[in-house]
Chains A and B, each alone.
Chain A
Amino acid sequence: MSRTAASSRLRTALAAAVPPCAVLVACVCAWQAAVWVFRPGEYLLPSPIQVAQEAWDSRATLARAAWLTGLSAAGGFAIAACTGVLAGSVLAASRFLMRGLYPIATLLQMVPLVAIAPLLVVWCGYGWRTSVASAAIVSVFPVLASTLDGMRGTDRGLVELFGTLRAGRVQRWWKLELPWAIPSIVTGLRVAAGLSVIGAIVGEFVGAFAGNASPVGIVILSALREHRTELVFAAVLTAAVVGFVLFGLVSALGWVALRRWHASVG
């Protein structure tokens, strides 16, 4: 690629980053101003400066929490990605299964995670397993749905071509339907990446116990108990960062996978 093309791409990326950053800075300033003007109690609404101070002071705790929650979320996401793509493929392959199972999957997906989270503790016990399971459960449906949609949209002409070439069912899946569905699957995976962090924290709320290794959910719970609202804020921010990193990683992987597609389609 030429240098000018690379630098113009960088410029586009910067141009895209400026508006959200500006909005973010404006919001933080407004927050700080509101705290100065209305002076709510610190335990109600700490100022951004206090939150930043607390985040810095508790950086070791927060970093460890981010790492632990990130691992649970990533583990749950990985399970959801594999299960979702496989289940979506199976449903896409069989009209019968799709008719029978997809409506049920859609219904199950509407059961609130918080309602079944306590059950997960019964099944998986206290600790990281519950967080992983909870992360996997919330993020599996978008992957399944996007896989199913992508595969069902496979070009009829190409399916017919594979028929004339006497391709087996597995060959058709691996060499045609799966690559065809990749743009759609990547979209589903990105949604799932964000959800998995939420799932992991819900799992921690119900199932993790405070030890010397506290994930974000536990940091939030114990900070609440100690009325350290600024630490709650700092922990919530940490959770957002974990989600952002996971989302970014998945997007980057997706971008690599899609480059071929875009090169060929565009």
Chain B
Amino acid sequence: MPDAITVSGVRRAFDDGTVALDGTTLSVERGSVAVLVGPSGCGKTTLLRILAGLDAPDAGTASVAPVAGEGAARVSIAFQEPRLLPWRSALRNVALPLELARAAKADRDDRARAMLSLVGLGGAERKLPGQLSGGMRMRVAIARALVTRPQVLLLDEPFGALDEITRHQLDDLVLRLRAELGMTVVLVTHAITEAAYMGDRVFVMAPSPGRVVRAFEPGFGMRDAALRASPRFAAVVADLMQSLAGAMLAVPAGGVRA
């Protein structure tokens, strides 16, 4: 499989002198789940924003390749918070991207409805965000990100604020949707077990300046509850935890292994 995302030597320094990213290099295979894991402030959100086109690198390149035969790559991002319009029903929130792109009304309602039932909210179409639970709101946000059929889905700690059971459910939902819709997923998290479970490839990042210090592949094929309880999963988690502990120590930028 070719790479859907290529990031090479990216540097991003903010006006106040903070170097959020420096010499960040990684690539993500099309159709895979890449996880960015690392301590707070190591530039995960900054990298995702660059991939989404919300920010630009000061040096280096970050590109999302379109699928062969198509024009520009379609990239969707779901933020750490659901960011729903409080006065719109779940259905009309999901339809928003299509509405802004001026799709025909009947068409966009159909597609939004289909997407809502795909995330398991078939019965909640007419509910307002205030009437939904936190996990349901996040599902609506993901349905909205998916309704344009993106080739790349960027998720910034989407389930960080949720309880662990809901988070497991939604993680499985993302894996299922990835398989059904055939997208590339980049997931940002600072939960180590989530990183180990979700990643086809896990990039461990370190702060000041933000960079990738390790890339590895847990190599799990099927993910299910049994995997979470297995010793090989525990081994990967322990391994990751050690890398992260190392990442917390201020390693000079020269010592990057990516």
Give A contacts to B, CB under 8 Å: 155, 157-158, 160-168, 171, 175-176, 179, 182, 260-261, 263-266
Contacts and interface: CB of A to CB of B under 8 A. Distances in A.
A263 B100 contact: no
B35 interface: no
A236 B15 CA distance: 62
A155 B52 CA distance: 20
Contacts of A265: 86, 130
B97 A176 contact: no
18 contacts: A158-B83, A160-B79, A161-B83, A163-B54, A164-B76, A165-B96, A165-B100, A166-B100, A168-B100, A171-B100, A175-B99, A176-B85, A263-B130, A264-B128, A264-B129, A264-B131, A265-B86, A265-B130
A65 B87 CA distance: 41
Interface in B111-133: 128-131
Contact of B81 (A157, A175, A261): A157
Contacts of A175: 85, 96, 99-100
B250 to A, nearest CB: 31
Contacts of B83: 155, 157-158, 161
B129 A165 contact: no
B77 interface: yes
B87 A164 contact: no
Given A165-B97, A263-B131, A160 B87 contact: no
B230 to A, nearest CB: 38
Nearest to A259: B87
Given A264-B87, A265-B86, A161 B79 contact: yes
Question: Which of B53, B97, B131 has the most chain A CB within a 10 Å cutoff?
Answer: B97
B6 to A, nearest CB: 21
A167 B98 CA distance: 10
Interface string B194-207: 00000000000000
Nearest to B53: A164
B248 to A, nearest CB: 29
Q: Which size bracket describes the interface of B in this complex?
A: 20 to 34
Interface of B: 52-54, 76-77, 79, 81, 83, 85-87, 96-97, 99-101, 128-131
Contacts of B76: 164
A179 B100 contact: no
A179 B81 contact: no
A182 B86 CA distance: 12
Contacts of A168: 100
Nearest to B102: A171
Contacts of A264: 86-87, 128-131
Contact of B130 (A158, A171, A266): A266
Contact of A260 (B52, B97, B99, B128): B128
A153 to B, nearest CB: 13
Nearest to A161: B83
Given A157-B81, A261-B87, A265-B86, A162 B129 contact: no
Contact of A160 (B54, B86, B130): B54
Contacts of B53: 164
Nearest to B81: A157
Contact of B87 (A161, A163, A171, A179): A179
Interface centre among B79, B101, B130 (most CB of A within 10 A): B130
Contacts of B79: 157, 160-161
Given A261-B86, A263-B130, A264-B129, 8 more contacts: A155-B83, A157-B83, A158-B85, A164-B52, A164-B53, A260-B87, A260-B128, A265-B130
Contacts of A161: 79, 83
Contacts of B99: 175
Contacts of B129: 264
A166 B96 CA distance: 11
A163 B55 CA distance: 11
Contacts of B77: 164
A266 B77 CA distance: 28
A5 to B, nearest CB: 16
A167 B53 CA distance: 14
Contacts of B96: 165, 175
A167 B54 contact: no
Contacts of A165: 96-97, 100-101
A155 B130 CA distance: 16
A116 to B, nearest CB: 39
B130 A179 contact: no
Q: Which 10 pairs of residues, A with B, have the shortest CB-CB distance? A: A264-B86, A264-B130, A264-B128, A260-B87, A167-B100, A157-B83, A165-B100, A165-B97, A161-B83, A179-B87
Contacts of B85: 158, 175-176, 179
A44 B76 CA distance: 75
